[in-house]
């Protein structure tokens, strides 16, 4: 008969000890996941910067060929006829992004009688729903939608919202009102540049010229040469990042002209999300309404702390969302005579 002796009993873990071990393991897993996420985001941010750099070089190559930057957009003004959309800058740089064949397939639509060349080409299956180099992997909202994270800069262009003057909190930073023509502020909010037509257009259909535009692009043209950037190419924004799900470009196409193809710097970087998507936004949540351009059409990203920008000299820099707002306007404006002092 075998006898059991207390000395033969192996000591076990108490419940408290098990809970402590589990807590330590959970903490370690949390730290590991945070580290993995941080590394992943760093890689995503670098990929976005590289794609912006390629797009900036494509703009330079277009400039070499035509003597000006590609048009920010070629489209009809809102509420006018005939209605047409012949594409934005992302379309016209296709030949310089190793997409010459795609551009040649679209070209007959651009030169033909089609009023909406981009929509017709998309419906015909000519234009793919997405191009990988136009998507930032840090933005999970795009999925398979036909959108792009990269937009052109109009600098401190006046930007009329859709919810009346009281809900245009950023209009003062363009040194004017959203009237037609814009009425200059006296004194100016920031010295160095004049008031400008809202969103780079005259609502009464008057033609624009480059003097009406503050940055390197206009959503409705006209073409702008690098020579007009008298502040220096290295001091002037060219392209930046955007979250299209938070403005009217959510309903557009990456190849199309506006809205959201060329944005204003008067809206602070990574301003509060305009995630109210219902049609009653102007009454229910005007400062969170995706269709209120004066708060929605700003440069944004999912990168913590700021946004990648390509400058007109082809360099790419990460601009902090805490940048002095006046300095941000001077980086956006190509000819304000103010050389910004920033890191």
Quick one: pLDDT band at residue 277, thresholds 50, 70, 90?
very high
Average pLDDT over residues 166-177: 95
pLDDT of res. 34: 63
Please indicate, yes or no, if residue 12 is contained in any of the structural domains.
no
Please indicate, yes or no, if residue 14 is contained in any of the structural domains.
no
Please indicate, yes or no, if residue 188 is contained in any of the structural domains.
yes
How would you write the chain as a 3-class SS string?
Answer: CCCCCHHHCCCCCCHHHHHHHHHHHHHHHHHHHHHHHHHHHHHHHHHHHHHHHHHHHHHHHHHHHHCCCCCCEEECCCCCCCCCEEEEHHHHCHHHHCCHHHHHHHHHHHHCCCCEHHHHHHHCCCCCCCCHHHCCCCCCCCCCCCCCCEEEECCCCCCCCCCCHHHCCCHHHHCECCCCCCCECCCCCCCCCCCCCHHHCCCCCCCCCHHHCCCCCCECECCCCHHHCCCCHHHCEEEEECCHHHCHHHHCCCCCCCCCCEECCCCCCCCCCCCECCCCHHHHCHHHECCCHHHHCCCCCCCCCEEEEEECCCCEEEEECCCCHHHHHHHHCCCCCCCCCCC
Write down the mean pLDDT value for the chain: 89
Domain hosting 152: range is: 39-332
pLDDT of res. 178: 77
Low-confidence winner among 89-103, 134-148, 284-298 (lowest mean pLDDT): 134-148
Please indicate, yes or no, if residue 108 is contained in any of the structural domains.
yes
Please indicate, yes or no, if residue 319 is contained in any of the structural domains.
yes
Specify the number of domains making up the chain. Answer: 1
Please indicate, yes or no, if residue 101 is contained in any of the structural domains.
yes
Quick one: pLDDT band at residue 223, thresholds 50, 70, 90?
confident
Please indicate, yes or no, if residue 294 is contained in any of the structural domains.
yes
> What predicted TM-score, i.e. pTM, was given to this entire model?
0.88
pLDDT of 11 higher than 90: no
Please indicate, yes or no, if residue 323 is contained in any of the structural domains.
yes
Low-confidence winner among 6-15, 43-52, 141-150, 244-253 (lowest mean pLDDT): 6-15
> pLDDT by residue (tens digit) across 312-340?
999 999 999 999 999 999 999 999 999 88
pLDDT of res. 37: 67
Low-confidence winner among 14-23, 29-38, 107-116 (lowest mean pLDDT): 29-38
Low-confidence winner among 129-138, 206-215, 242-251 (lowest mean pLDDT): 206-215
Quick one: pLDDT band at residue 12, thresholds 50, 70, 90?
low
């Amino acid at each position: 008969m075998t006898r059991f002796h207390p000395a033969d009993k192996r000591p076990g873990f108490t419940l408290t000890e098990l809970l402590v071990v589990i807590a330590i393991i959970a903490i370690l897993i949390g730290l590991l996941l945070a580290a993995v996420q941080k590394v992943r985001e760093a890689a995503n941010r670098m990929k976005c910067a590289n794609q912006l750099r390629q797009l900036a070089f494509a703009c330079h190559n277009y400039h070499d060929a035509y003597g000006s930057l590609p048009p920010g957009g070629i489209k009809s003004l809102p509420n006018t006829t005939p209605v047409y959309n012949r594409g934005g800058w992302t379309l016209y740089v296709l030949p310089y992004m190793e997409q010459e064949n795609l551009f040649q397939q679209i070209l007959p639509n651009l030169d033909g009688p089609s009023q909406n060349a981009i929509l017709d080409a998309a419906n015909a299956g000519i234009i793919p729903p997405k191009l990988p180099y136009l998507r930032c992997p840090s933005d999970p909202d795009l999925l398979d939608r036909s959108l792009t994270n990269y937009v052109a800069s109009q600098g401190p262009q006046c930007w009329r919202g859709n919810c009346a003057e009281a809900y245009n909190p950023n209009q003062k930073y363009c040194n004017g009102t959203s009237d037609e023509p814009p009425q200059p502020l006296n004194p100016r909010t920031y010295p160095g540049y004049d008031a400008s037509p809202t969103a780079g257009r005259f609502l009464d259909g008057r033609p624009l010229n480059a003097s009406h535009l503050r940055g390197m692009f206009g959503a409705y043209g006209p073409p702008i040469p690098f020579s007009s950037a008298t502040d220096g190419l290295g001091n002037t924004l060219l392209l930046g990042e955007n979250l299209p799900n938070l403005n009217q470009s959510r309903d557009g196409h990456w190849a199309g002209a506006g809205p959201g193809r060329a944005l204003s710097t008067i809206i602070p970087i990574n301003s509060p999300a305009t995630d109210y998507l219902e049609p009653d936004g102007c009454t229910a949540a005007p400062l969170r309404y995706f269709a209120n351009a004066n708060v929605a059409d700003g440069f944004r990203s999912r990168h913590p702390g700021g946004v990648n920008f390509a400058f007109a000299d082809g360099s790419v820099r990460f601009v902090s969302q805490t940048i002095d707002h006046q300095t941000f306007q001077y980086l956006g404006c190509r000819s304000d005579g103010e050389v910004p002092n920033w890191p």
